[in-house]
Amino acid sequence: MNTNHTREITYLEAVREAMIQEMRLNKEVFLIGEDVGTYGGAFGVSKGMLEEFGPERIRDTPISEAAIAGAATGAALMGMRPVMEVMFMDFLTISTNQLVNQAAKMRFMFGGKCSIPMVIRAPSGSGTGAAAQHSQSLEAWFVNVPGIKVVAPSSPYDAKGLLIAAIRDNNPVLFMEHKLLYRLKGPVPEEPYTIPLQSAEVKREGRDLTIVAYSIMVPRALEAAEKLAAEGIEVEVVDPRSLKPLDKETIIRSVSKTGRVLITHEAPGTGGYGGELAAVIAGSAAFDYLDAPIRRLAGRDVPIPYNRTLEQAAVPQVEDIVAAARELAQEGR
């Protein structure tokens, strides 16, 4: 990450800036979704964009995620580069036929004679009191679909660079934006830049164990690492950033160095993406360097409760990561 700049903006502003810069650069890029125009998006991400680009390129739609996904897929098929916004990731369930059976498969089924360059922006995760139907993390569903790429940035810098890369990609890209990250501030260059969609990053160097985390779990893992450092436990934090395609080498290299790995994510553990990461590590050269079993820390297998106390208890918090990492650091010693 290039930090030779002082400007800091929020994650939300970084996402907006990425869209604006790409729309200025390429007239084929447009935004489509519910209330993205006059209202400025459910979370205010597209505020002000209607005034600059007009209703042809900032397209408000009826309340139908199936129609939004179908229109975006058709537009991409005809050479446009739509950025499709759903209000909540949960609502992708309504558009799965268009995304899973059409957008993801067309390039393959037509022998590479067409491209589907579209981005699906999806606010994900819990922590806002939005309850069971507006708080899910469904990344494992879409990682399992060949033809769709999945990215989950954890910082404003990553959000801008990955979104620009996603817009320029010739395949459908699911772009997960955790709702609690929108107000997170960080250094972001003003000029456009890209981060390759297969480039994990070591967010913190350490020697005693590796925590592999993505999205909201990255700042939580970093906070946990600071607490553990006070106890003499040096944690390395690796953020895959892109879940598919996955930069396996960076993860394997880190685990080989530390000999211990904790994988954490917000989605439920059963069938969760952490199982894929564990399989990658277990099937790699890093396995020979493990001094303790691979550990997973994931959300509970329950719908996200509305009650704030229960909501926090349903997904890993900083103290849960601290406890799991502390136990893992001592295992086998």
User: Pairing state of beta strands 242-244 and 149-151?
Assistant: antiparallel
Q: Is 227 exposed, middle or buried (0-12, 13-18, 19+ CB in 10 A)?
A: middle
On whether the CB atoms of residues 158 and 207 are closer than 8 A, the answer is no
- Classified as helix, coil or strand, 191 is coil
From the number of C-beta atoms within 10 Å of its C-beta (0-12, 13-18, 19+), residue 248 rates as: middle
Angstrom distance (rounded) from CA 153 to CA 165: 12
Q: Facing residues of 212 across strands?
A: 238, 263
217: its two tokens: 């779990």
Unique residue bearing structure tokens 């964009």 = 49
Catalytic residue among 5, 134, 178, 265: 134
Tell the residue number behind the tokens 């001094």, with chain if given.
291
Q: Please spell the DSSP secondary structure of 79-115, one letter per residue.
A: T-EEEEE-SSGGGGGGGHIIIIIIITTHHHHTTTS--
18 C-beta neighbours (distance < 10 Å), count: 26
- Residue 19's contacts (CB-CB under 8 Å, 6 or more residues apart) are 29, 31, 46, 49, 83, 163, 167
State the residue for tokens 């916004």: 85
CB-based contacts of 257, cutoff 8 Å, min separation 6: 207, 210, 236, 289
Active site residue 265: no
> What residues are labeled active site?
134
